[in-house]
């Protein structure tokens, strides 16, 4: 008789936080920090605290997703895609609850710090973010099961995260930041929508009414194309309408190339997801790096 070898627990927990998706937090913080630098109000400490808060809330959302999808049976043996910790039995629900609770406690610290040193608004954002992060799959909200997960991702990893990072530096909520946030939110939706396309059969069988289940694969593919176009167009619009450095249009080029390549029908869903995950990282870096260059200035 051979004994099955259990995976290393550290690797199981690293997989549970889903590192490939964490660009959804890094990207809007990079964009918001860039806008603060362009406006001359950049502060390293506040940006790093904002990044910590965004990452911890996303990790909390990923852990809650693993927990409640596992308890519902959505991530059972028939799941397509990577194995999940609770659904596969590699982590007990009690251990995942403890990890989720600890992550939420740590996530409260950046919100409280920014509420004191930047604006009380960040306390409300932190509380709402935590509620939606857990409620993404947890009842009674269960946003993902109602087809509202994409709205949460778009808002919290888009306009709220970009404008919030910018506001963390001097308390000012600016229109360019909200507009640029449309791009990062759109890429986040691309990642989530592609994930839901892959998981359509299992989600449908388990009553998880994502937008793919509600409106069909064709509709969601069109949403992904629209979001790629938004991510491509926003830096161009921001550069010419708001006078931002023209170099930020490097992010448009990145979105057009990686986003366009991800639409090739021969690619597997896992490869498309990897490309959108990469796009989230590279887009933010391109926006930040490009901001140091401009042309056509009077």
Task: For residue 120, report the phi and psi dihedrals to the nearest 5 degrees.
Answer: -60, -20
Whether residue 296 is contained in a domain is answered as no
Average confidence (pLDDT) over 28-33: 97
What pLDDT was estimated at residue 174? 97
Q: Which residue range is the domain that position 197 belongs to?
A: 20-290
Residue 81 pLDDT class (50, 70, 90 cuts): low
| Angle, helices 93-117/9-16, rounded to nearest 10 degrees | 50
Specify if 66 maps to a domain. Answer: yes
Contact (Cβ atoms closer than 8 angstroms) between residue 186 and residue 153:
no
The answer to whether residue 295 is domain-embedded is no
User: Is there a domain that residue 9 lies in?
Assistant: no
- Express each pLDDT in 169-193 by its tens digit: 999 999 999 999 999 999 999 999 9
Rounded Cα–Cα distance for residues 51 and 110 (Å): 9
Count of domains observed in the chain: 1
For every residue of 243-281, which 3-state class applies, written as one string? CCCHHHHHHHHHHHHHHHHCCCCCCCHHHHHHHHHHHHH
DSSP 60-80: HHHHHHHHHHHHHTTTSTT--
pLDDT at 4: 55
Half-sphere exposure of 9 (CA within 13 A, CB side): 4
Pick from 282, 101, 271: which is nearest to 183 by CA?
Answer: 282
187 part of a folded domain? yes
Question: 128 lies in a domain?
Answer: yes
Res 139: pLDDT: 87
pLDDT tens-place string over residues 94-117 = 999 999 999 999 999 999 999 999
Confidence of residue 285 (pLDDT cuts 50, 70, 90): very high
Total-model pTM: 0.91
Question: Which CATH number characterizes residue 240's domain?
Answer: 1.10.600
74 falls within a domain: yes
Q: Which two tokens mark 288?
A: 């930040």
**pLDDT value for 75:** 66
Report if residue 98 sits inside a domain.
yes
- The label of the residue with tokens 């919030």 reads 164
Average pLDDT, the chain: 91
């Amino acid at each position: 008789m051979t004994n099955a070898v259990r995976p290393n627990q550290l690797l199981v927990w690293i997989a549970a936080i889903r590192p490939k998706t964490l660009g959804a937090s890094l990207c809007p913080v990079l964009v918001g920090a860039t806008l603060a630098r362009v406006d001359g109000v950049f502060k390293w400490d506040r940006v790093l605290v904002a990044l910590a808060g965004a990452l911890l809330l996303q990790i909390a959302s990923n852990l809650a997703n693993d927990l409640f999808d596992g308890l519902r049976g959505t991530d059972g043996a028939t799941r397509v895609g990577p194995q999940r910790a609770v659904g596969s039995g590699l982590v007990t629900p009690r251990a995942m609850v403890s990890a989720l609770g600890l992550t939420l406690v740590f996530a409260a610290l950046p919100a409280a710090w920014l509420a004191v040193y930047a604006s009380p608004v960040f306390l409300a954002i932190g509380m709402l973010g935590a509620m939606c992060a857990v409620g993404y799959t947890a009842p009674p909200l269960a946003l993902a099961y109602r087809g509202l997960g994409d709205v949460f991702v778009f808002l919290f990893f888009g306009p709220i995260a970009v404008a919030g990072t910018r506001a963390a530096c001097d308390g000012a909520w600016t229109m360019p930041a909200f507009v640029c946030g449309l791009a990062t939110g759109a890429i986040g939706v691309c990642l989530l929508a592609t994930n839901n396309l892959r998981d359509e059969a299992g989600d449908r069988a388990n009553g998880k009414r994502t937008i793919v289940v509600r409106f069909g694969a064709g509709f969601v593919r069109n949403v992904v194309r629209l979001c790629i176009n938004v991510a491509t167009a926003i830096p161009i619009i921001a550069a010419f309408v708001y006078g931002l450095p023209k170099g930020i249009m490097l992010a448009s080029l990145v979105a057009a190339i990686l986003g366009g390549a991800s639409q090739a029908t021969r690619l597997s869903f896992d490869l498309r997801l990897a490309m959108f995950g990469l796009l989230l990282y590279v887009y933010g870096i391109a926006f930040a790096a490009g901001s140091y260059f401009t042309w056509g200035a009077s």
